[in-house]
Chain A
Amino acid sequence: MGLELYLDLLSQPSRAVYIFAKKNGIPFQLRTVDLLKGQHLSEQFSQVNCLKKVPVLKDGSFVLTESTAILIYLSSKYQVADHWYPADLQARAQVHEYLGWHADNIRGTFGVLLWTKVLGPLIGVQVPEEKVERNRNSMVLALQRLEDKFLRDRAFIAGQQVTLADLMSLEELIQPVALGCNLFEGRPQLTAWRERVEAFLGAELCQEAHNPIMSVLGQAAKKTLPVPPPEAHASMMLRIARIP
């Protein structure tokens, strides 16, 4: 059995892993786990990952979760170009510095809009406007920090070449963009960075990876999204309840 990646491209970390594997020509079998249909909660998938989350990597009998760990594993195993996860001590440290900050400030914040605009309403839950506003403010603060502290006057987040940091960041920022929040507007530095990353990845791959999330608002409007099964409601309610 070869490498299997369990993903749903609606999920930001899944997209980061997908893009990385594709860009680096890593052969894998794509196992789509439809989050909206609650497939991540199925008995079949929980055999693969008890935590019932995507992305998951399965390499023979070795199962690995967490997009960051998966990306590092793939970069080592397939010996991808050094710039992705530089061997240099300080350069690698800067990638990890960003990834740590990302987990605390980007992850969990930039995904909220999907919940407030699409997933909440899908199960009849309206998120209070004050939470939506607070989330918008959190995103603004985080973007400012992203520009001032990480990007600064450099081409990329952790230095002068594309790294895992840029991939994780771009995929997270694409989420609110897909939901009608043009957070790149009025941010020329961030816009230029995005263009550099997408140019490096290639327009075709970006479009392929982003199409599902870019379509979600339209599908919601036309009511063509799958209706989450009752057993998925509990975990969805829990996530919504955690929106600060």
Chain B
Amino acid sequence: MVLELYLDLLSQPCRAIYIFAKKNNIPFQMHTVELRKGEHLSDAFAQVNPMKKVPAMKDGGFTLCESVAILLYLAHKYKVPDHWYPQDLQARARVDEYLAWQHTTLRRSCLRTLWHKVMFPVFLGEQIRPEMLAATLADLDVNVQVLEDQFLQDKDFLVGPHISLADVVAITELMHPVGGGCPVFEGRPRLAAWYRRVEAAVGKDLFLEAHEVILKVRDCPPADPVIKQKLMPRVLTMIQ
């Protein structure tokens, strides 16, 4: 029985899982679910995940959604090196703290930035008011500042001297606005140095492979009207 992962590397949580599984040589069968074609809304995919969201995981008869849950499941089941999710009580709490914080802050900010800057105008053909985009970018700046000041501080990685799940989740989030053309690391030397350390720890080839789709996102063709109609309500809910 093989582990099955349903992913689209356009999505930040999917990239985190992909990188983590590959880096740790966890064997899995990759099922690409093309979000821009609306494949996640198909009846076939609803059988896997009734929530119609990626990432989703199937391990034999066990189905799991939510990237943090999947990452922790994989870390536990495949007994990956301790630094990813340390046994030490306080170090582990730091990972948990970051994973909880990012859900309503950095993740939301990075997602909204990409959609307001690129996906709405380029993919869906919907213009975003300049004030809304400005507010979104200001919010991103605030959250990136918190990431740097409260989590990274002067450490090599977010929770200590080694890479953990927190770093993989954070870097894949930040690559969303990077793909959208925002100079996220400019003028932030500490963050830029952290980025280079994470990229090196993950492996440059794997890092680039995982981010190829998002780095080319500005080149994507406009959505077909039927697809657009199907995607629109979901997108509006997702970014609110």
Q: What is the interface of chain A, defined by CB distance below 8 A to chain B?
A: 50-51, 62, 64-69, 72-73, 76-77, 89-90, 92-94, 96-97, 99-101, 103-104, 107-108, 145, 148-149, 244
B62, B64, B69, B89: the one within 8 Å of A73 (CB): B89
B3 to chain A, nearest CB (A): 13
Inter-chain CA distance A223–B178, complex, in Å, is 49
Bound Cα distance from A145 to B51, whole angstroms: 9
CB pair B100 A103 closer than 8 Å:
yes
CB-CB under 8 A from A94, the residues of chain B are 64, 69
Q: Taking A73-B93, A244-B240 as given, write out 17 further A-B residue pairs in contact, using a Cβ cutoff of 8 Å, ordered by the A residue number.
A: A62-B93, A64-B93, A65-B97, A66-B96, A68-B99, A76-B92, A89-B76, A92-B72, A92-B73, A93-B69, A93-B72, A94-B64, A97-B66, A99-B69, A99-B100, A100-B103, A103-B104
Q: Which of A51, A62, A92, A107 contacts B90 (CB 8 A)?
A: A62
Give the shortest distance, in Å, between A156 (CB) and chain B (any CB): 17
Closest partner residue, chain B, to A97 (CB atom)? B69
B21 within 8 A of A: no
- Whether B182 sits at the interface, judged by CB under 8 Å, is no
Interface of chain B residues 92 through 114 with chain A (CB within 8 A) = 92-94, 96-97, 99-101, 103-104
A94 to B72, CA, bound (A): 11
The answer to whether A77 and B89 touch across the interface, beta carbons within 8 angstroms, is yes
B172: CB under 8 A from chain A?
no
Residues in A whose Cβ lies below 8 Å from that of B100? 66-69, 99, 103
User: B213 on the interface (CB 8 Å rule)?
Assistant: no
Please tell me the number of chain B residues within 8 Å of chain A, measured between CB atoms. 30
Measured CB to CB, the residues of B under 8 A from A are 50-51, 62, 64-70, 72-73, 76-77, 89-90, 92-94, 96-97, 99-101, 103-104, 146, 149-150, 240
Chain A residue at minimum C-beta to C-beta distance from B13: A100
Report yes or no: A103 in contact with B103, Cβ–Cβ below 8 A.
yes
On whether the beta carbons of B96 and A149 are closer than 8 Å, the reply is no
Q: How far is the CA of A81 from the CA of B146 in the complex (A)?
A: 35
Who on chain B is nearest to A87 by CB?
B76
B26 → A minimal CB distance (Å):
14
Distance of A144 Cα from B91 Cα, bound (Å): 37
Contact between B72 and A104, CB atoms less than 8 A apart:
no
Chain B proximity of A213: nearest CB distance (Å): 20
B65 x A92 contact (CB < 8 A): no
A243: min CB distance to chain B, Å: 10
The reply to whether B68 and A96 form a contact with Cβ atoms under 8 Å apart is: yes
Assess whether B93 is in contact with A69, with CB atoms less than 8 Å apart.
Answer: yes
Q: Can you sample 27 A-B contacts with CB below 8 Å?
A: A50-B150, A62-B90, A62-B93, A67-B100, A68-B96, A69-B93, A69-B99, A69-B100, A72-B92, A73-B93, A77-B89, A92-B72, A92-B73, A92-B76, A93-B62, A93-B69, A96-B66, A97-B64, A97-B66, A99-B68, A100-B65, A101-B66, A104-B104, A107-B103, A107-B104, A148-B50, A149-B51
> Shortest distance in angstroms between B105's beta carbon and chain A's nearest beta carbon?
10
Residues of B within 8 A of A66 (CB): 96-97, 100-101
A192 to B97 CA separation, bound complex (whole angstroms): 32
Chain B min CB distance to A78 (Å): 11
- Judging by beta carbons under 8 Å apart, are B104 and A108 in contact? yes
9 closest A-B pairs by CB: A100-B66, A96-B69, A103-B103, A69-B96, A66-B100, A244-B240, A69-B97, A97-B69, A68-B100
